[in-house]
Chains A and B, each alone.
Chain A
Amino acid sequence: MSRILAFIFRRRGHGRGWHWTDIATWIWLIGGTILMFGPALWLVASSFKGPAQLAEFPPTLLPYVQQTAMVEGYDAPLPLYTTTQEDGSTKVLAEIRRIGVNSQMVDPGNPGERINVNIADRSPVREIGLATGNYVEPLVKNNFLRFLWNSVFVTVMATLITLFTNSMAAFALSKYRFRGRDGVMLLIVATLMVPLSVILVPLYSVVNAMGLLNSLWGVILPTVATPTGVFLLRQYMLTIPDELLEAARMDHASEWQIYWRIVLPLAAPALAVLAIFSVVWRWNDFLWPLIVLSQREHYTLQVGLNTYAGELNVQWHYILAMTVVTMIPVILVFLFLQRFITTGIAGAGIK
């Protein structure tokens, strides 16, 4: 163990032994790791707890479920409790029903005799287990399956359209000389200054006039012409040598074919980065869908979650589970594609 630790904490280079800054570094890194992952892990652990367990304080770290047993003469499984007898010994009994502060119980080994126990004298028998109903019920009974589908639809469509329109614009801006090119670039730069929160009211009225309120397209279309996407792709396409295009023109390729068959495949790495960005952006969008979508069947996951979490009696066991569902695609992106994003940001300084 100590050799492993020595290996992990070994300082490279100087070999002057430990300096206080090394200790500070590791405290920061390990503390940071706990702080960055801890809250999400706590959420996942909590999402498998039943409602009764969620209301407990102090909370337990792991999810437990109450054990039940089939008792002769009863149709449904009965919950098990440990009860304290008058002589101080304990016994496991199954509860039939609760009447006020008393619980009517039965010994699973001797189902004939009913015993009355004060609820203060009993405690549930629990084992580690997952309350998977948290996940199943909102997806099946409430509209969360619908929300999930809406989110997937918005994300996929918006990303596809973003890739096409942005790559076409980037191609024109990187490979053609035409009058007004600088003007167009300036226009696109200028739109960087107009974030959504500044044009909420008029954008709503434009979307309204187009009949796109309460439609997923009303969520998708205003988001797809991202200036960052055009920039990213243009920067990359500038590195594609013009000779390649010229050679294709010699072979009588049309401009459209040059874009489709030559430039797009060569720009694949930049397209991949933009696709990842776009998926994360559109999956996470909140304010605009909140404004455009007012009917429940059109909600995306983010809006649906916010609505259910804003109710007077928050059903945390459902909310937590659905939050985890909402996190899944992003966690997949993080696990498999994180390197693309971090290099993309470091290279372009964008988000």
Chain B
Amino acid sequence: MAGLGETLGRAAAWPFTLVARAVDPPLRVWQRWTGTGGMAAVFLAPNLAIFGVFVLIPLVLNFVYSMTGGTGILLDQRPFIGMEQYGRLLECEDYTRRITCREDQFWTAVTNTTGFVIFQVTLMVVVSLITALILNRNIRGRGFFRAVFFFPVLLSPVVVGLIWRWILQREGLLNLIAVNLGLEPEIWLNDRFYAFAATIGVSTWAHMGFYTLILLAGLQAIPRDLYEAAEMDATPPARVFWRITLPLLGPNFAVVLVLALIRSVQIFDEVYVLTGGGPGTSTLYLTQYIYEVGFASILRNPGLAAAASILMGAVLVVLTLLQLRLSRRAEGRRAR
């Protein structure tokens, strides 16, 4: 059977082998002509070309879009209007009342996203930390349980959204449990508070396994003899946690915190499928606002969407720089 697998593998690789052989002679000529430095360019070219076209050019264009008006997507149909889009996003008559803002949907999205980020990241970090601490104990079937918590991470956001929409609907599982506990059944996603809570809970459910793994890796890197020494001294467990575990976990903990923040700010897919931003606009978050203004609404305004995405991007850049710094520090510690 192993022989068969190998044969099949070879057969699948065959077309690629052919291509690889065919490109060798011209590349040899190129190599003789330009040296190994020229070959480095050849190896980098495809990836950099794709980066350039699909990341760098859009990055620059984003600023152009944010400073032009109109509803067209082609740049030559878009008149230059300077910073007007930003002004429109940020202009309010009375900054204490969202409704007086010119683009009140944007402020709704900002407020909702802020609330979401605060609660979701807190919940995420706490739940992942508890799970990682538990998985770090000497328990039977640790590999199994590690996999259990990781399972939802692999599911697609659309599937996650649909699974939970199905559970939270009127004839759903949650109402079955509620009725059995003697509570009134609810249409959970039609309620502003429950829908907001659902987006937090569901996105935590879907991603906590990922953060648990990073924290667990950090916990396992803490030298055992520290704990043994603590035990010799009969240090109380709470003190061990605050004095040994948390400080030594620090860098990983910081990485998890910032990664969770970055992803939380951009939340879209699961929530869009779960609540569609509703009821009303109570779970309308920033990425959905950008998507709807840029693509989905009748009065679409690509310039406004670009301006909003640049403002969100600025927040993300700050967070990512923070993350890179922290993870470098984490690596430095590990090396020492």
Contact = CB atoms under 8 A, between A and B. Distances in A.
Contacts of A236: none
A28 B51 contact: no
B162 A305 contact: yes
B324 interface: yes
A203 B55 CA distance: 8
Nearest to B252: A349
A179 B51 CA distance: 19
B158 A200 contact: no
Contacts of A25: 134, 137, 139
B28 A254 contact: yes
Contacts of A280: 154
Interface of A: 8-13, 21, 25, 28-29, 32-33, 35-37, 39-40, 42-43, 46, 54-59, 164-166, 168-169, 171-173, 176, 178, 181, 184, 187-189, 191-195, 197-206, 208, 210, 221-222, 224-225, 230, 254-257, 259-260, 280, 283-284, 286-287, 291, 302, 305-306, 309-310, 316, 319-320, 323, 326-327, 330, 333-334, 338-339, 341-342, 345-347, 349, 351
B140 A309 contact: no
Interface centre among B27, B138, B151, B310 (most CB of A within 10 A): B151
Contacts of A334: 147, 150-151, 154
B268 interface: yes
B40 interface: yes
Given A193-B320, A291-B295, A206 B57 contact: yes
A169 to B, nearest CB: 4
Given A224-B50, A256-B27, A305-B158, A36 B152 contact: yes
Give the size category of B's interface with A: 35 or more
Contact of A287 (B51, B57, B216, B268): B268
A24 to B, nearest CB: 8
Contacts of B88: none
B44 A197 contact: no
By DSSP majority rule, is chain B's interface helix, strand, loop, or mixed? helix
Contacts of A46: 166
A254 B147 contact: no
A120 B157 CA distance: 43
A287 B156 CA distance: 11
Contact of B156 (A59, A168, A225, A286): A286
Contact of B28 (A193, A225, A256, A338): A256
Contacts of B50: 165, 221-222, 224-225
A346 B217 contact: yes
Interface stretch (B94-102, B104-112, B311-319): B311-319
Interface string B193-229: 0000000000001000110011011000000000000
B146 interface: yes
Interface string B60-82: 11101100000001110000000
Contacts of B157: 284, 286, 302
23 contacts: A32-B149, A36-B151, A40-B152, A178-B41, A181-B40, A184-B44, A187-B56, A197-B290, A199-B55, A199-B59, A205-B74, A225-B54, A254-B27, A256-B39, A259-B43, A260-B24, A302-B158, A309-B273, A326-B158, A330-B159, A338-B150, A342-B213, A346-B216
A298 B107 CA distance: 35
Given A255-B36, A284-B156, A323-B159, A197 B172 contact: no
Interface of B: 20, 23-24, 27-28, 31, 36-37, 39-44, 46-48, 50-51, 53-62, 64-65, 73-75, 130-131, 134, 137-141, 143, 145-159, 162-167, 170-173, 175-176, 179, 185, 205, 209-210, 213-214, 216-217, 237, 255, 262, 266, 268-269, 272-273, 276, 287, 290-291, 294-295, 302, 305-306, 309-310, 312-313, 316-317, 320-321, 324, 327
Contacts of B159: 305, 323, 326-327, 330
B210 A222 contact: no
B65 A197 contact: no
A164 B46 contact: yes
A91 to B, nearest CB: 30
B320 A306 contact: no
